[in-house]
Structure 1
Amino acid sequence: MSHPRFGIAILTMGNRPAELRALLDSVAKQDLEPARVVVVGNGAPLPELPAGVHGVELEENLGVSGGRNVAIQELRRFGDVDVVVDLDDDGLLVDADVLSHLARMYAADDRLGIVSFRIADEHGETQRRHVPRLRAKDPMQGGEVTTFLGGGHALSMRMLDETGIWPDAFFFTHEETDLAWRALDARWRVVYEPALLLQHPKTSPARHAVYYRMTARNRVWLAKRHLPAVLVPVYLSVWAALTLARTRSWGGLRAWFGGFREGVFTSGGRRQPMRWRTVVRMARLGRPPVI
């Protein structure tokens, strides 16, 4: 990919117009101009957008997965985008060379599928959950990983053509891991690059009322869709034990186990278990698919 063309995709629910405008201004200041910028109003009307920004208003909230799929479809329709860059609507590109840095990375590696940004708040602090590897407290340690951050990342369109797009049924939580596992199984590389910074307010995923139910349901769907059969009970047992140890809210636990049951008895999409070579590759990267 000698001269990759970038499409920026931003999903919004219309409740952060000031933050959205600041993000779009930071995109406009990039030293490499994107080919397209698409903003999707996920079940909400869009504010006035700058000239050249393409807006799509959806009648209903399709979740993170569904909304981002709409953005990908719009960018495909234009036909001039090689790499999709997804950005949270309350994020900010502090540096002006994010796209040019990405361009060098994709130009140098034909099998680079996904690049995960570093996420830090306005004080420069990165939450532990935003470092996409185990036993790595240093957010400045980059390299190959087995999942990526939803708030800021880049996706090869050629990879998406091969692996498929976001899992619509997931709505939100674990959709990144689902896509990363498919990418790894198709022999694409997933890289965490801390030099690519998205400034983002400090938040907790549990702020969403349905977080506990969906994180459990989607965890089960993830295992059912992608793990070799023998690893499914191992993976789910480990996560059930971790949830019991970490969760201090009885209401949260009750919602989690309700979601777990929902995941067991419903389908999150077609099953396509990863190859054992992918399991071995993930283990070598420090995160075997049992945790």
Structure 2
Amino acid sequence: MLFLGPAPASPPICSFVVVTYRRDEALQRTLSGLRTQLAGRNAELVLVDNNADGLDRIWMLEGFERSTLLRQPDNLGVAEGRNVGIRHSRGRFLVFLDDDASFAVPGALDAIDEAFKEDPAIGAVAFRSYDAATGAGDPTEFPHTDKRLREDGAIDTFRFIGVGHALRRDAVEQVGAYRPEFFYSMEEFDLSYRLLSHGWRIVYRPAVVVEHRRDPAGRVPSPRKVEMSVLNKLRIAFMHLPARQALLCAAAWLCNGFAMRRGIYRIDRVLAEFVAWAIRNQDLRRPMQPRIMRRIHDMGGVAWR
């Protein structure tokens, strides 16, 4: 662990956490934008280096007033990488950006701060994101199942998307951080449902806009990518959904994953991994109470999609 810049006498308001893996060029662009956003602000940057390649990336943090580089001996994945950043940060609010994403508007820190000040019960803030290649919003990164909703409208919602989001530290300390077995995909859905179950609000604030460049480097190769996605969806169903919805959703997700890869991915391997995990982790099954399911329904959402 390496620090750059003086340690503040008191904790910063915001800690920006970036986890990186095999995307040095994209990362440099992300950090360049953050230098501007954080200049003169009571904030810190925590860079979690998952590369484990022996390269020294400390030079990338030049120009940041407060920054920390956390070199990892192995690729921990997205979820545990963020957890490392959380443990070594001090801000009251935790802001996460993928290493191939940047804020597309100035004053992102102000907008995030204002969102949390609206209500101390707000545990997470979801950002608006768009695809840098098309200039349009990606429906998969809109944090709601009703994709007909306006992207420029602020709403209460029941999930956030990992590419860009913010968490209140108090909320994370109450419900727990990301589960490390969500190495890739769906980790934010698990955390979202835990937040809701403990009474926290999740809000979508389109004033915070993220440009997602979707760098292909460092991504899990297909069909394993599909297998991990389906496996994690089965975990979500097991942990958070009532029995009937869990069974229906598991069947739907298995079939959908098969259709996506036209039979290339291994259903038997996914099921074997899931069953072994579920047996070891039966204590994690805590279906959302009916009041939480009603709350999601009242927001116009569907928990299992």
TM-score by length of 1: 0.87
* Residue type of the alignment partner of 2:288: M
Counterpart among 11, 17, 25 of residue 24 in structure 2: 17
- Answer whether contact 2:158 2:296 (CA < 8 A) is retained: yes
Of 151, 167, 171, the match for 2:179: 167
Matched, 1:87 2:101: no
Q: Is contact 1:215–1:256 with CA below 8 Å preserved after alignment?
A: no
Moved more, 17-26 or 61-70: 17-26
Residue 4 of structure 2: aligned partner? none
Q: Secondary structure at the match of 2:124?
A: strand
Contact conserved, 1:106 with 1:112, CA < 8 A, in 2? yes
1:250 is aligned to 2:258: no
The letter for the 2-side match of 1:114 is: A
Residue number in structure 2 paired with 1:263: 274
1:168 match: secondary structure: coil
Does 1:184 find its partner at 2:230? no
Q: Which residue identity lines up with residue 212 of structure 2 in the other structure?
A: H
Specify the code of the residue in structure 2 equivalent to 1:249: R
| Pairing of 1:196-215 with structure 2 (within 5 A) | 196-202=208-214, 208-209=220-221, 210-215=224-229
Paired residue secondary structure (2:266): helix
Change (3 A) 1:284 1:242: farther
What amino acid sits opposite 2:262 in the alignment? S
Contact 2:127–2:165 at 8 Å: present in 1 too?
yes
Runs of 4+ off more than 4 Å = 202-205
Which of 120, 123, 130 aligns to 1:120? It is: 130
1:275 aligns to 2:282 (yes or no)? no
> What is the rounded CA distance, in whole Å, between the counterparts of 1:126 and 1:260 in structure 2?
33
Match of 1:165, as an amino acid?
A
Alpha-carbon distance, 1:149 to partner: 1.1
Deviations 1:156-199 (A, max 9, x none): 10100111000111111110100000011111111122221111
SS in 2 for 1:237: helix
CA distance in 2, matches of 1:263, 1:62: 20
Tell me if structure 1 keeps the 8 A contact 2:103–2:211: yes
Q: Secondary structure at the match of 1:30?
A: helix
Given the superposition, is the C-alpha separation of residues 56 and 151 from structure 1 closer, same or farther in structure 2, using an over 3 Å criterion? same
What letter matches 1:188 in structure 2?
Answer: W
1:136 is aligned to 2:144: no
Q: Describe the shift of the 1:255–1:286 C-alpha distance in structure 2 as closer, same or farther (beyond 3 A).
A: farther
Structure 2: how far apart are the matches of 1:104 and 1:247? Answer: 40
1:98-149 Cα offsets, whole Å, 9 max, x none, are 1101111111211111111111133521122111222324432431222211
- Unpaired segments ≥5 residues, structure 1: none
- Listed as ranges, the gaps of 5+ residues in structure 2 are 1-10
After TM superposition, the structure 1 stretch with the greater mean CA deviation from structure 2, 99-108 or 36-45, is: 36-45
Cα gap change, 1:46 to 1:141, in 2 (>3 Å): farther
Aligned to 2:254: 240
Q: Does 1:109 align with 2:123?
A: no
| Distance apart, 1:255 and its partner CA | 3.0
| Structure 1 residue 235: Cα displacement | 2.2
Counterpart of 1:7, as a letter, is S
Aligned counterparts of 1:22 and 1:73: Cα–Cα separation in 2 = 25
Distance 2:35 2:189 in 1: 30
Which residue number in structure 1 is paired with residue 6 of structure 2? none
> For residue 71 of structure 2, what is the amino acid of its counterpart?
E
Q: What letter corresponds to residue 183 of structure 1 in structure 2?
A: L
Instruction: Give the length in aligned residue pairs.
Output: 281
Q: Please state whether the residue corresponding to 1:28 is helix, strand or coil.
A: helix
Letter of the aligned partner of 2:198 in structure 1? A
Distance 1:34 1:91, change over 3 A: farther
- The 1-side partners of 2:274 and 2:297 are apart by 25
Q: CA RMSD in A?
A: 2.5
